[in-house]
Structure 1
C-alpha cells in the first residue's frame, strides 16, 4: 500500500514537470513589446523587466545576507589535478565561451510618447532586414493591446547628414513607408498610421549630425 501511494505521488510530480515544460512560450511577456509600450504610454511594468546582472555577467540571484554563488566563468565545474598527499591542490578553470553578439538596442526615447524602433535596413535602401521584420511583428502585437489599440501613430524616418539633403529626405520617407506597410501586413489598421520622412533635419540632441545614431525610425503617438 505504501509503495502504491509513493508511486502515485511520484507520477503526479512527473506529470506536473511535463506540463510546466509544455507551457506556451507566449505566456511570458516579451521584453521588446513591453519596452515599446512603456516608451509610448509611460505605463511601464517594472515586474516584466529582466533581473539585473551581477558583475561579470552572472544573474543577481543571491539571497540578501548571503554571498553570491561563484562559478560563472567555469559554469560551476572545476577540475583538480592529482597531487601527492600533503601537497597543495591546484584547480584548473575552463573559460566559458564568448557570449553571442546582442542585437542592436533601440535608443532611449527623448520623451514619453515616442519610441525608437531600433530597425536596420539593407545598405542605402528601404529594404528591412529579417531582424527588423521580427521586431516589427512584436510591435504589431503591442499595438493590438488595450493600452494602444485605439491610438494613432506617426512613423518618422530620419537619416544622418551625410550625402545630399534631397536624397536623405527621400530615403527617410521610403523607410518610414516600408515600416508602416509591414505593420499593416502584420494586422495594424492603416488608418492608424501616418508617415513622414525628415531626412537629416532632426538630428538627436547632443549628437553630431553625421553620426550613425541619427539613422533611425521613430514611432510617435498622435
Structure 2
C-alpha cells in the first residue's frame, strides 16, 4: 500500500517538475520569425489557418467516438481569429473566420530557444533546426535589407563576468552558423548580455532565460 502511494505521488509530482523547468519561449517556424521581425504576417497567418483546420478535423474525428465536447487549445502568444457574419441577399448568414494576426508586444524582435552545450558556445544538435529556420527567415526578401542584433542571454548560474563572456561567445557562434548558411555577416551584430536581461516575470536564475533574441536594427 505504501509503495502504491509513493508511486502515485511520484507520478503526480513529475508533470509539476517538468513544468517548472519549461519556460515561455517555444520553437518558432520560419514564417513566425519573419512575422515578428517585419510585421509581414501573410505566410504565418496561412500557417495558423492550416494548423487550425487540421486541429478542427482531428477533434471532429475524436468527437464522433465520444460525447464530450472537444476544445481547441489557443495558440500561445497569438490572438485567436476573429469571426464575422456574412450574408448574401436572400440567403442565410454564415460565420467566416478572418486570418489570425500575431499579437506582438515588441515588433521587430523575436526570442528563440537556441540551446548550447553547458558552459560552451557549441550549438546543441537539437537546436540546429531552429537556427536554420532563423537563417532562412533572415534571407527572405522581406528581411533582406535589414540588419539584426544577435543577442545571447544566460541564467544567473555562475558569476556575472563569466556569463557575460559566455553569452558573447554564444552570440558569435550563432552568427558564425548563420553566415555558414548564407547570411551576410555585415547584417549581424553579436551581443552578449549574460543574465542582465531576464524574461519578464522570471527571476534571473530561471532556466528559460537561456535564450537568443534577434532584434531588427534597421
- TM tier relative to shorter chain: 0.5 to 0.7
The structure-2 alpha-carbon separation of the partners of 1:109 and 1:186, relative to structure 1 and needing over 3 Å to count, comes to farther
The structure-2 alpha-carbon separation of the partners of 1:164 and 1:39, relative to structure 1 and needing over 3 Å to count, comes to same
The structure with more radius of gyration: 1
Q: Which residue of 1 aligns with 2:134?
A: 139
List aligned pairs for 1:104-115, cutoff 5 A.
110-115=105-110
Q: Which residue of 1 aligns with 2:117?
A: 122
List aligned pairs for 1:161-172, cutoff 5 A.
161-172=156-167
Match status 1:195 vs 2:190? yes
Distance across 2 between alignment mates of 1:157 and 1:209: 14
The structure-2 alpha-carbon separation of the partners of 1:70 and 1:111, relative to structure 1 and needing over 3 Å to count, comes to same
Unaligned runs of 5+ in 1: 1-30, 74-104
Deviation at 1:71, TM superposition (A): 7.5
Match of 2:40 among 21, 40, 43: 43
Kept in 2, the 8 Å contact 1:160–1:199? The answer is yes
List aligned pairs for 1:45-124, cutoff 5 A.
45=42, 46-49=45-48, 50-52=50-52, 59-61=55-57, 68-70=60-62, 110-124=105-119
The count of corresponding residues between Structure 1 and Structure 2 is 153
Structure with higher RCO (Cα < 8 A, 6+ apart): 2
Distance across 1 between alignment mates of 2:182 and 2:204: 35
Secondary structure class of the residue paired with 2:189: strand
TM-score, normalising length: structure 2: 0.63
Match of 1:34 among 31, 34, 44: 31
Deviation at 1:197, TM superposition (A): 0.4
Q: Which residue of 2 aligns with 1:80?
A: none
Distance across 1 between alignment mates of 2:60 and 2:37: 37
Which has the larger displacement, 178-187 or 117-126?
Answer: 117-126
Kept in 1, the 8 Å contact 2:113–2:210? The answer is no
Structure 1 runs, 4 residues or longer, greater than 3 Å off: 70-73
Q: Larger % of helix: which?
A: 2
Kept in 2, the 8 Å contact 1:153–1:194? The answer is yes
Deviation at 1:47, TM superposition (A): 1.3
The structure-2 alpha-carbon separation of the partners of 1:215 and 1:72, relative to structure 1 and needing over 3 Å to count, comes to farther
Q: Which residue of 2 aligns with 1:24?
A: none
